[in-house]
Chains A and B, each alone.
Chain A
């Protein structure tokens, strides 16, 4: 299967059929911090991805700016 990753943006290929949960474990990616997308559809952790499929693993965590003060103090 072909996998598109981000941060940095790159593509990789791994052989064989796998569950989404297994792919994330294999790549060391946190399920809470990623969405797995096939075409226009979101995949749950128990979804099967075939050898011929193309998926995107999209990070969802953004960081940096915090918001702790109520005004310009």
Chain B
């Protein structure tokens, strides 16, 4: 297989583009896709203070690497979820990445801030671990971005992530969530920080190839809580479609963005107001995060008081 650009030996095949690239030209291709996402979607302006959500995995570290290479003002935010060895390794890789590049990193420790790790929080609040994790991260990203005067939060969600979420939302006809799915989630309330997904044009396999070719030491092992997660099933289904028809995932998600998302968004964003307890934006009186942590704390307290 030959590189589309230089006819040298290819290192990475991009079947959805009917192309293959050598290592230097693949890096160029991937970075160009991210630049294009940022500029065409007007994700942020030069000089804006960006908070990059960094887990220690391939996508978020690849994103941070590209933003730093572009000269963007990109500070990392890592949430330590307290998942035994997995969180220790994730935090260590993230801290080492920041140290090696002289990049600013904020670490938020769920146990230190809220007194429980994500497994305990999920179990005590009767939520699936991935649901509790997603809610906690969204909450902390927004809160810490506001606390630090960042104007935008960037996350490493890629084409596969977005296509899998789209499939899940369609299977259950989650129309409200379909209306909110986009590469840019605008600031629709003074307390809500804009969120952007600069990797939405690139596939998960391409993020991994980019990280590997850039020598980024990311966490390869999977979060122990994600085993059996529904999103993995959706990704597997989409990858089977992709194997049979290259470009299926891209056509599915980009087609949604072009044709259906504008129709669904015509009704305008949901009305938000400050949470009565923490002040974060919510559609309810008390936000879902405050309700979840209160429920977990009450259950843990009841258990502790029933002990002999």
A residues at B contact (CB < 8 Å): 6-7, 9, 30-35, 37, 41-47, 58-73
Contact = CB atoms under 8 A, between A and B. Distances in A.
B239 A35 contact: no
Contacts of B74: none
A64 B161 contact: no
B133 interface: yes
A4 to B, nearest CB: 11
Interface string B172-190: 0010010011000100110
A65 B229 CA distance: 9
A45 B11 CA distance: 10
Given A60-B207, A64-B226, A72 B235 contact: no
Given A7-B221, A31-B243, A64-B130, 13 more contacts: A30-B239, A33-B205, A34-B205, A42-B213, A46-B1, A60-B208, A62-B58, A63-B235, A64-B231, A68-B180, A70-B185, A70-B269, A71-B192
A16 to B, nearest CB: 22
Contacts of A6: 220-221
A35 B212 CA distance: 10
A33 B209 CA distance: 11
Interface residues of B, number: 73
Contacts of A69: 134-135, 138, 177, 180
A63 B177 contact: no
A67 B157 contact: yes
A35 to B, nearest CB: 6
A10 B210 CA distance: 24
A8 B205 CA distance: 19
8 contacts: A32-B243, A33-B239, A34-B205, A44-B13, A64-B225, A65-B226, A66-B130, A71-B189
A65 B207 CA distance: 17
Contact of B220 (A41, A58, A66): A58
Contacts of A47: 1
Contact of B222 (A35, A42, A62, A67): A62
Contacts of B283: 73
Given A61-B235, A64-B229, A71 B280 contact: yes
A66 B161 CA distance: 8
Contacts of B57: 62
Given A30-B243, A31-B243, A44-B10, A70 B192 contact: yes
Contacts of A66: 130, 134, 161, 164-165, 168, 231
B231 A73 contact: no
A23 to B, nearest CB: 15
A58 B208 contact: yes
A44 B239 contact: no
B12 A42 contact: yes
Given A35-B212, A63-B235, A71 B13 contact: no
A50 B23 CA distance: 22
Interface stretch (B29-37, B42-50, B108-116, B284-292): B284-292
B13 A72 contact: no
B174 A68 contact: yes
Contact of B282 (A31, A34, A71): A71
Contacts of A32: 203, 205, 239, 242-243
A42 B23 CA distance: 8
A44 B11 contact: yes
Given A6-B221, A62-B226, A72 B138 contact: yes
The 3 closest A-B pairs by CB, nearest first: A64-B226, A63-B232, A60-B208
